[in-house]
Structure 1
Amino acid sequence: MTDELLIKFLLKETSEEENTAIQEWLAADPANISVFIQFEKIWDAGKTLTPASKVDEEQAWNKFREKTKKLKEKEAAVVLPLKKNYTWLKVAAVFVLAIGAWTLYQLMSPVAYTNLTASNEVLIKTLPDGSELTINKKSQLSYASDFKNDRSVRLDSGEVFFNVAHDKTRPFIIKADQVSVEVVGTSFNVKHTKNKTEVIVETGIVKVRLGNEEIRLVKGERVSISKRTKKLQKEQSEDQLYNYYRSKLFIFNGTPLQEVAETLNEAYGVKISVDPAARKHTLFTTLKLSSTLEENLEVICDALNVTLSRNQQEILLSNKK
Structure 2
Amino acid sequence: MKTDLGKIPGYPALRYMGNQGSPILMKINKENIERYHQGRCSLEEQRIVQQWLDSEEAEMSFPENSDLNAIGDRGWKRISGRYHIDAQPKPAAGFKLRNYRMIWQLAACIALLLGGATFYYLNTDWKNSQHNTFAYKEIKTLKGQKLSVTLPDGTIVWLNSESVLRFPENFKGQLRELEFSGEAYFSVAKDASKPFIISTEKTKIQVLGTKFNLRAMATETATTVVVEEGKIRFSGDSNQLQLMLTANKRGVFETKGAIPSMQTDEVYAPKYMAWKNGELLMDNLTIEEVAEMLERWYNVKIKINRPALSGERYTGSFKNPSLQKVLESMSFAVKFSYKQNGQTFILY
Give the TM interval when normalised to the shorter protein: 0.5 to 0.7
Residues 82-129 of structure 1 show CA distances to partners (whole Å, capped at 9, x for unaligned) of xxxxxxxxxxxxxxxxx9x99x9799x664422222345321121121
Distance in 1 (CA, whole Å) between partners of 2:204 and 2:292 is: 26
Corresponding residue pairs, total: 223
| 1:260 alignment counterpart | 290
**Paired residues of 2:188 and 2:211 also in contact (CA < 8 A):** yes
2:215 equivalent to 1:184: no
Residue type of the alignment partner of 2:308 = A
Residue 295 (1) aligns with residue 320 (2): no
Q: CA RMSD in A?
A: 3.5
Contact 2:249-2:269 at 8 Å conserved across structures: no
Structure-2-length-normalised TM-score: 0.55
Kindly indicate whether residue 171 of structure 2 is the aligned counterpart of residue 147 of structure 1.
yes
1:212 pairs, out of 223, 239, 259, with 239
* CA distance in structure 1 between the aligned counterparts of 2:346 and 2:270, rounded to whole angstroms: 25
**C-alpha distance in structure 2 between counterparts of 1:286 and 1:106, whole Å:** 49
Aligned amino acid, residue 294 of structure 1: Q
1:160 aligns with 2:184: yes
Change (3 A) 1:241 1:267: farther
* C-alpha separation in 2, matches of 1:314 and 1:106: 48
* Structure 2: gaps spanning 5 or more residues: 1-123
Residue 308 of structure 2: SS of its match in structure 1?
A: helix
Q: Is the 8 A contact 1:271 1:314 kept in 2?
A: yes
Name 1:277's counterpart in structure 2.
308
Residues 145, 297 of structure 2: 8 Å contact kept: no
Q: Kindly indicate whether residue 107 of structure 2 is the aligned counterpart of residue 117 of structure 1.
A: no
Contact 2:275 2:281 (C-alpha < 8 Å) held by counterparts = no
- DSSP 3-state at the match of 2:261: coil
- Correspondences of 1:73-112 after superposition (within 5 Å): 111-112=134-135
Q: Which amino acid counterpart does residue 312 of structure 2 have in structure 1? A: H
Gaps of 5+ in 1: 1-98
Q: CA deviation at 1:141?
A: 1.3
- 3-state SS in 1 of match to 2:337: strand
Give the whole-Å Cα distance in 2 for the aligned partners of 1:264 and 1:147: 36
Distance 1:121 1:254, change over 3 A: closer
CA gap 1:206/1:280 in 2 versus in 1, 3 angstroms? same
Residue 228 of structure 2 is aligned with which of 193, 196, 202?
202
* Offset, 1:266: 1.3
Q: TM-score, normalised by structure 1?
A: 0.59
Q: Corresponding residue for 2:23?
A: none
